[in-house]
Chain A
């Protein structure tokens, strides 16, 4: 977001300093969807921070759309990716179609939530990775702060993919954590095609919480083969936007 006056910029810098950020200008990863980027602080997803992603509805249990969303972000970051899981049900060909090629991903299968968080912290502290994704159910304030500090120290982006065993446990997503942003990705019916078949997936992407930013929700099309989200045609058919449908879409 462009700063209207220098005073506000100075105030922002001061608040950022109070919140414990070392650098005032943080590196960000834009989504390349202007409607989404313009509403994020510094016009993109902060690199070297902890982010939270969860699925909405049944996605809170299966985490399929959230996994694609996280894979798309990880795919657009450079460097290897560590993916910590408790149950090995990720299907690598599907992730590849979200842009994350198999040779970039190292999987760690840890026994329980605590072990997953420990492995995630280990990955974030190492510094040689591009992103660390972890399927976790419970994320306490203490754990998330540790992870966030580890991510900040090394510049590796951490994505906590919140996924619960039962639908009723998903209320845990309301608890506060130290994550920089908190996203919820729910599936929507896709727009009908002129022929039989299924089109590109449609997601309702809600930014529930963002530090130094405002929450909002937006309807977008799922990741393409390079990890980019797309703007649906009926929304993109406006003068300002042009991002959707540039790539061949899958899944």
Chain B
């Protein structure tokens, strides 16, 4: 439980789940709380420290998820995800990834995605469990209590005195008397939540971030003009990076339009870079995703993630230089997403679908190979498909198989290759067995099929047959 000071009173400012179950509430006097729970663990609140760590969290989110992020004190982070979600495979996948990484860091988070800051704020705090991803949000918001509206406590208290409980009560009430009684803030917050009034997110810009900026006397909109200024910004940024011995790993281009909307463009790099030509090309490849609207007033370019980059000798007389693929990998990763560019590496597992792991495209060689004593198919089905067969138990290959409605007579076969379940991964695999066969039909097509179970004991599997791969 945290204690803070409001005026001359010491009150509870935060209480954990256990404390709340014991009857403690935020806003209760400390003396009363201590009377309720005798051996209470009271710690002083540290508002400045909270703000600082919130900003650190916002910076962390900015480096990984979206270029426009701001702290939403006291307990929130607001993320402008427009133009950033597709890099993570859509909104749902992005929220999953964000929640997963926050949970791993020991942070309990609730996330909502909505059209406006106000709506997202309200939904995250009242409906997210722990993620809210709804389509039309107006009806959902109007049912929420007044505390969802980011109003000052005085106004909330005043409204509840008058009998207002939900946002819907406010929406159905004439506005003039409300404004007269509570000031303009109430209706402004209401409009912001419902999307009738714009509320730009001012991006977090911590000290020490390398940033270059251009403002234009006349707004610019043509793609060629934007490209020219991108090139100038990149040149400036690379000079700044060079002075500090850094290379950019992630670049954010923010374009403030005349109508105060911010268009963003983010590129990631597989290795630190400060080559102006290459960075310019990566940014210019994506110009068509910017919507200049009535024109762009200000452009800033930020090296959101920068890492040390020292010069090194690239060529040698003794050995031919290995080709540098980082430029290609960057171009591809920014085209299709960083996850879709990868290499495969062996994993010490006999289960075929687990024997391959994805690693980064430029990761160092693992130096491992798959064991080479059994033939493996060139195409592996995404998941084994059940087939109909006729086979002698326990260890004969089938006489024929029927897959996707086509019957193949088995002419030649090889096997079984027995693979045991990995009991250290899942209890269900303790007794599991798969017997793999390689079969060839009359036309010469070769399939990789297996029987779940060892052919004798039903505890080892269902004894159904599956096809798992196709040989070339």
Chain A residues with a Cβ under 8 A of chain B: 57-58, 62-69, 71, 79-80, 82, 87, 89-98, 101-103, 105-111, 115, 118-119, 122-123, 126-129, 187-190, 192-193, 196-198, 201-202, 222-223, 225, 250-251
Indicate if the CB atoms of B332 and A119 lie closer than 8 Å: yes
Could you list 9 further interchain pairs (A-B, Cβ under 8 angstroms) beyond the known A68-B378, A103-B367, A109-B341?
A63-B379, A64-B471, A90-B378, A91-B378, A94-B379, A97-B372, A187-B443, A189-B440, A251-B378
Is B438 at the interface (CB under 8 A from chain A)?
Answer: yes
Indicate if the CB atoms of B379 and A90 lie closer than 8 Å: yes
Question: Which A residues are CB-close (under 8 A) to B41?
Answer: none
22 contacts between A and B (CB under 8 A): A57-B445, A63-B379, A67-B379, A67-B472, A80-B325, A93-B346, A94-B377, A94-B379, A97-B375, A103-B366, A106-B341, A108-B340, A108-B341, A110-B335, A122-B328, A122-B332, A122-B335, A128-B328, A129-B325, A187-B472, A198-B413, A222-B472
| Complex partner residue of B378 from A67, A109, A122, CB under 8 angstroms | A67
A-B pairs, 8 with minimum CB distance: A128-B323, A68-B472, A91-B380, A94-B378, A65-B472, A93-B376, A187-B444, A64-B472
Q: How near does chain A come to B333, taking the closest CB pair, in angstroms?
A: 9
Indicate if the CB atoms of A62 and B335 lie closer than 8 Å: no
CB within 8 Å of A: which B429-472 residues: 438-440, 442-446, 469-472
Complex Cα gap A66–B471 (Å): 10
| Complex partner residue of B446 from A92, A128, A187, A225, CB under 8 angstroms | A187
Question: Which A residues are CB-close (under 8 A) to B377?
Answer: 64, 91, 94, 251
Indicate if the CB atoms of A123 and B328 lie closer than 8 Å: yes
Is B355 at the interface (CB under 8 A from chain A)?
Answer: yes
Complex Cα gap A127–B443 (Å): 40
Is B336 at the interface (CB under 8 A from chain A)?
Answer: yes
Complex Cα gap A179–B289 (Å): 33
Indicate if the CB atoms of A188 and B336 lie closer than 8 Å: no
In the complex, the chain B residue whose C-beta lies closest to that of A222 is B472
Interface centre among A57, A79, A198, A222 (most CB of B within 10 A): A198
Q: Using A128-B325, A189-B440, A197-B414 as known contacts, say yes or no to A107 and B379 having CB atoms under 8 A apart.
A: no
Indicate if the CB atoms of B444 and A92 lie closer than 8 Å: no
Complex Cα gap A126–B329 (Å): 10
Indicate if the CB atoms of A101 and B369 lie closer than 8 Å: yes
Indicate if the CB atoms of B343 and A102 lie closer than 8 Å: yes
Complex Cα gap A129–B402 (Å): 42
In the complex, the chain B residue whose C-beta lies closest to that of A204 is B444
Indicate if the CB atoms of A188 and B444 lie closer than 8 Å: yes
Question: Which A residues are CB-close (under 8 A) to B370?
Answer: 92-93, 96
Is B17 at the interface (CB under 8 A from chain A)?
Answer: no
Question: Which B residues are CB-close (under 8 A) to A118?
Answer: 335
Complex Cα gap A22–B53 (Å): 63
Q: How near does chain B come to A32, taking the closest CB pair, in angstroms?
A: 19
Indicate if the CB atoms of B344 and A107 lie closer than 8 Å: yes
Indicate if the CB atoms of B332 and A108 lie closer than 8 Å: yes
In the complex, the chain B residue whose C-beta lies closest to that of A223 is B472
Q: Using A79-B323, A187-B443 as known contacts, say yes or no to A64 and B375 having CB atoms under 8 A apart.
A: no
Complex Cα gap A74–B95 (Å): 40
Q: Using A106-B329, A107-B342 as known contacts, say yes or no to A189 and B411 having CB atoms under 8 A apart.
A: yes
Complex Cα gap A189–B442 (Å): 6
Indicate if the CB atoms of B356 and A93 lie closer than 8 Å: yes
Is B259 at the interface (CB under 8 A from chain A)?
Answer: no
Question: Which A residues are CB-close (under 8 A) to B332?
Answer: 108, 119, 122-123
Is B345 at the interface (CB under 8 A from chain A)?
Answer: yes
Is B262 at the interface (CB under 8 A from chain A)?
Answer: no
Complex Cα gap A201–B327 (Å): 39
Is B407 at the interface (CB under 8 A from chain A)?
Answer: no
Indicate if the CB atoms of B412 and A197 lie closer than 8 Å: yes
Question: Which A residues are CB-close (under 8 A) to B375?
Answer: 94, 97, 250-251
Indicate if the CB atoms of B331 and A122 lie closer than 8 Å: yes
Q: Using A96-B370, A189-B440, A251-B377 as known contacts, say yes or no to A115 and B472 having CB atoms under 8 A apart.
A: no
Is B49 at the interface (CB under 8 A from chain A)?
Answer: no
Question: Which A residues are CB-close (under 8 A) to B218?
Answer: none
Complex Cα gap A246–B228 (Å): 59
Q: Using A106-B342, A108-B332 as known contacts, say yes or no to A95 and B412 having CB atoms under 8 A apart.
A: no
In the complex, the chain B residue whose C-beta lies closest to that of A125 is B328
Q: How near does chain B come to A144, taking the closest CB pair, in angstroms?
A: 20
Question: Which B residues are CB-close (under 8 A) to A102?
Answer: 343-346, 369
